[in-house]
Amino acid sequence: MTSYEKLINAQKINSSMLCVGLDPDINKLPVSYNKRPEEILRFNQAIIEATKDIACCYKINFAFFEQYGITGYEILKKTFEAIPDWLFTIADAKRGDIGNTSAAYANSVLDYFKADSITVSPYMGKDSVTPFLNFQKKMVFILALTSNEGSGDFQRLISDGQPVYSHVVNKSKSWGGKSQIGYVVGATHPDELKVIRKLIPENCLLIPGIGAQGGDIEATIKANDRGPAIINVSRAIIYASNGDDFAEKAREKALEYREMMKK
């Protein structure tokens, strides 16, 4: 089975577009936890256990593990192992470099960590992305229009009548099939999401920016126009409570978000 098929399956089984983003931060762990990196694994396991029948996938933010050094890296490996095999995983690592280096990143993320997919920055062009596509059963989510304020700095520059992000989408969509190439488009820009959806009606969108970042679910769902999509929520779910009921509250929030996405 390809990772794309796994995603479609998981979306059907859990009747869900919801992706739970794991951005572990020791300062936000439940008050009863020790504020030590080692506690992150227990936290992640509890969040996964509480949401595995609600989410279609988990987005693992590499930075939040890497900041704890070797301990963090070990927890990153064990977090991937804690996710049931039939659920899709996104390595949110924003990698991209010259060919031989992207190939090494692909070995790390897609082979060593066994992620189903990875987020990739397009700035360095085709030969920085294709080494990831050489893992033919896996997926790549190319940054198109990101959810943050800085997305306006370069992604929206107009060249030949089109913003840079449209050039990224139009050029890269031919680098692989729709079961391998998806795009990151922030929920904070529903009008542009609609434009991008029209450029690539069949590619999967990974949509961050809901929850703490302020994106609107209803506008996002409408702009997405029933295309294949994953909608990510991180902080608003995993830090719904910092009491001992954190997993229960995360589950409640995840259920709420899943229902809102169904409308």
What amino acid positions are annotated as catalytic residues? 94
Write the interaction track for a second copy spanning residues 223-262; mark x where CB under 8 A is met and - where it is not.
----------------------------------------
Residue 134 found at the interface with a second copy (CB under 8 A): no
Residue 214 found at the interface with a second copy (CB under 8 A): no
Of 3-11, 52-60, 69-77, 248-256, which part binds a second copy (CB under 8 A)?
69-77
Q: Which is nearer to a second copy, 10 or 133 (CB)?
A: 133
Residue 174 found at the interface with a second copy (CB under 8 A): no
Residue 115 found at the interface with a second copy (CB under 8 A): no
Residue 203 found at the interface with a second copy (CB under 8 A): no
Residues 6+ apart with CB under 8 A from 194: 222, 223, 225
Site for a second copy, residues 82 to 101, rule: CB under 8 A: 92, 94-101
| Entry field: residues in the chain | 263
Write the interaction track for a second copy spanning residues 17-56; mark x where CB under 8 A is met and - where it is not.
------x-x-------------------------------
User: With b meaning 16 or more CB within 10 Å and e meaning fewer, what string describes 218-231?
Assistant: ebbbebbeebbbbb
Distance of CA 74 to the CA centre of its chain: 20
Nearest Cα neighbor of 60 from 71, 46, 75 is 75
Question: What's the CA gap between 255 and 166, in Å, rounded?
Answer: 34
Of 2-10, 46-54, 68-76, 216-224, which part binds a second copy (CB under 8 A)?
68-76
Angle between helices 246-262 and 39-51 (to 10 degrees): 40
Residue 66 found at the interface with a second copy (CB under 8 A): yes
118 close to 95: Cβ distance less than 8 angstroms:
yes
Tokens representing 227?
Answer: 């295309």
| 142 C-beta neighbours (distance < 10 Å), count | 24
Rounded to 5°, the CA angle 59-65-67 comes to 135
The nearest distance, CB 72 to a second copy, in angstroms, is: 8
Q: Which is nearer to a second copy, 31 or 158 (CB)?
A: 158
- For residue 126, give the amino acid letter: K
Distance of CA 118 to the CA centre of its chain: 8
| Cα Rg of the chain (Å, integer) | 18
Candidates 32, 134, 158, 245: give the one binding a second copy (CB under 8 A). 158
DSSP state of 175: G
Residue 167 found at the interface with a second copy (CB under 8 A): yes
Of 47-55, 155-163, 225-233, 255-263, which part binds a second copy (CB under 8 A)?
155-163
Q: Which parts of this chain interact with a second copy (CB under 8 A)?
A: 23, 25, 61, 63-64, 66-70, 72-74, 77, 92, 94-102, 104-105, 107-109, 111-113, 121-129, 143, 146-155, 157-160, 164, 167-168, 171, 213
